[in-house]
Structure 1
């Protein structure tokens, strides 16, 4: 190895990874052992490397800890077994049914804007109404892969159009923080730090929740190019029975109108045709 070569990354042993996920889920050894129907002593031996788990035990522990499929594969490999869950690019011919399902769901939500993102919030696909939602964002942020969180909160993105930016920022930060806690993904952690460092426009610091929707859903209030304020609530859809890593990590975000004027504005935009927008990654 030359001096210019980066040091090799040595995977953590199974016991260390298991302990990480147990502590990540705030479980004691006794608590996890009880849920997995094994002895606390044996679990302790597995975590310290004094005992090797069976493949069935690896999968059982991963299920009890609600470990994502990507990380379940890592646990299996660390324990000396082959990965169980396949990870293929979404463009893989074998995932054509998944792509068709995504396209069908996104189209079905029109005239409401809807999009699909990967585990790092990069845009995978969007329906024809998405471009209207993203109108006015800097072209440089529209180059693939388009990260929708960066696009939303960047000063040259949608930040200047979001009326309740302070609230929306905190909402997105909390969602991202929950993902970091659940997955331990350093890319998401770095993204969160980047977003939190963005300058906040004057008057956008108030994060107090108010209005009739308090305790039900936080609206996204977006100022349209013609000056109208459009109010949305968002929902997230995932594939609940996915056995492919890529598919499990996809999320579909849909923005529904929160009032009559917003619904009417969306219908007018749909009738006017598709606005230019970003291409999926």
Structure 2
């Protein structure tokens, strides 16, 4: 189904999954707000890629843990008069072995919750009126897609704080889906490993390769998901193809959850 004319915000879209999602939407002529926190150069590169694919793009700096920044990001979409999709992709972590309880501080938890949990809530709150306008204009519910993690289901991942923040995001998906229906539907993607610079930044080149090789050897499908793989699922949930879905946590982990 064509996404021509779709109006969307993708937070954390300078690189990785966010950039891949924006690029997928742009191929069908979507209007997109690209958001970054600190990586302006990468955000502009993503914007150029989207424009060359046919998308109409606005680039906005903002940290989603700050409510005023969330409102600034949403304000960039206001000239369109509506939003059809809000994709809460921005996320952060601190890599820390789960057994090292002393390696995480209260400040670490606050920062991860601020970006991974509070940020999506603040974005939804700021965007609600534009999303409702989108639903009224199109005659179908607008979409919120949260990008979570299998860590939020199974308590695994880069740190306990990260898993906890994503678990809270998963629970919030149910609450928001109930609260915002029928004009806005809310779903969440829970990826497993994604082959992006995320692990390189946290563990270095060698550490990232070890993680990738370990995942491929372990999962039943023997693959490492790419950003494009997950972006296709995100875009499915953000567009009318999934118009009757809300309150769902959709896992894409190459079968990792099948391993006992």
Structure-2-length-normalised TM-score: 0.28
The structure richer in strand per residue is 2
Structure whose alpha-carbon radius of gyration is higher: 1
The structure richer in helix per residue is 2
Structure-1-length-normalised TM-score: 0.26
